[in-house]
Amino acid sequence: MSALENKVTSTEDTNHVELNAEQIKRLIPHRSPMLMVERLIKVISGESAIGIKTVSLEDWYFQGHFPKKPVMPGVMIIEALAQTAATLAMHSLDLYDKEKLVYFMGIDEARFRKMVVPGDVLSLEVQKTHKRGPVWRFKGLAKVNGEIVAEAIKTAMISD
């Protein structure tokens, strides 16, 4: 178990919500083909979220990465974690249908452990570790079948 995995913990708290794709689109500006999160299956406001991304051979990046052996680019996994974190932040502040954006300021300790291929279902787990004013810090784990495939720490700012 990695140090980062130890810090992204699940909670038995039942005070959570789920968000569908339409609700996510009310919180972040991403749209197809860049919308990387289909739904959030568990959101604990101000704390953590778990998003889902089903990886499909039809995803645009597989046209060139790699045609004979499709592998999801690591940066797209990080983007999916970032969108999950952005949705958590915006939901936590009740910023539905607002013209605010979450800008990512830094990515630290990114690690890629296993390949993600078409047919995989990514579980995108993010936890807020710090918030100061408009700046948020998150720890994120991407998993397939319970195994970590990527992890990173992200810093973001909510702005107009």
CA distance 18 to 84: 12
The sign one gets for the Cα dihedral 91, 94, 96, 99 is: negative
Give phi and psi for 126, each to the nearest 5: -125, 145
- CA angle, 118 then 151 then 20, to 5°: 60
Active site (annotated) includes residue 65: yes
3-state secondary structure of 5: helix
Q: Which of 16, 30, 65, 130 is catalytic?
A: 65
Residue 145 region by backbone torsions, left for phi larger than 0, else alpha for psi between -120 and 50, else beta: left
Q: Which residues contact 42 (CB under 8 A, 6 or more apart)?
A: 16, 18, 48, 49, 50
Catalytic residues: 65
